[in-house]
Amino acid sequence: MTDNTDDGTPSQPSAFELVGGEVRVRELVDRFYDLMDLEPDFAGIRALHPHSLDGSRDKLFWFLCGWLGGPDHYIERFGHPRLRARHLPFAIATPERDQWLRCMAWAMEDIGLPETLRERLLTSFFDTADWMINRR
């Protein structure tokens, strides 16, 4: 459903709406972490996470809901995301960025997001993931 702007013209749906809301964001996050846990190609980023991925799943879900234009679950729980500061303790270089992006691209494809939406999101994910790089 699309709301109207103040002048009565229809507003564009948010990425959150285009993805399909909380149920689909949770599906995306779960597929992302399932792939990270199962696929050897993602061993580098898997090693940066705790043994149990439950907390990571919840935090990414909460974050992505707000980042995509939906409810600010993450901010309600933790305040401003401060993504770069929160990721500084982890060695993130180009290989880790690229693994994260490949894993997310695969997850988006697996849950059936339309190609144009996947491309749009991947561009935004790249900008954020590239900003997380903190090692050569």
Q: Which domains are present in the chain? A: 15-131 (1.10.490.10)
Two tokens at 28? 């995306």
Task: Give me the pLDDT at residue 11, please.
Answer: 84
Chain CA centroid to CA 49, Å: 15
pTM above 0.85, yes or no: yes
Higher pLDDT, residue 67 or 9: 67
Long-range own/partner contacts, residues 76-80 (CB < 8 A, 24 or more apart): none
Q: Which of 105, 113, 119, 117 lies closest to 24, judged by CA? A: 113
Residues with Cβ within 8 Å of 23's Cβ and at least 6 positions away in sequence, in order, are: none
Task: Give me the pLDDT at residue 7, please.
Answer: 67
Two tokens at 21? 């809301």
